Amino acid sequence: MSPAIIHLPQVRVFPWATTDEFHKDFLSMKIADDDLAIARKNLSGTSIASLEHSLPLDGQDKQTLNFQDFHNGIVNAHSGPTNPLLNPFAWGALIKEITAGDKSRGVSSSN
């Protein structure tokens, strides 16, 4: 066997039957966004908000929440829970509803 160099004619692979089909498909093609447009979409408020709800917390987020919980515990350590029976605004609203005969809560009395 001896080496031989054979020059073959150039072959162009063209998936369309005619150039008109190519032009029609090319003009109807949706062009992808450039990198700047993709970055703007990724940094939009809605995409960041959806990521906040779907991604787990990292170490810094957990540390911040732990610190806030600890701080709130220290601030409220010497104050007891509030009693809703001592709220004068709630009593005023209740008395006003009773005197006005407000039946919006759907409580019916059986006679």
Contact of 66 with 73, CB cutoff 8 Å = no
Q: What is the model's pLDDT at position 65?
A: 94
Query: 107 falls in which pLDDT band (50, 70, 90)?
Result: low
Give the C-alpha separation, 78 to 24, whole Å: 77
- The pTM for the full model equals 0.32
Contact of 62 with 55, CB cutoff 8 Å = no
pLDDT reading at 66 higher than 90: yes
Poorest-pLDDT segment among 10-19, 21-30, 39-48, 58-67: 10-19
Q: What is the model's pLDDT at position 70?
A: 95
Q: If you average pLDDT over every residue of the chain, what do you get?
A: 85
Q: Is the dihedral of CA 54, 56, 60, 63 positive or negative?
A: positive
Phi, psi of 33 (to 5 degrees): -70, 155
Q: What is the model's pLDDT at position 102?
A: 63
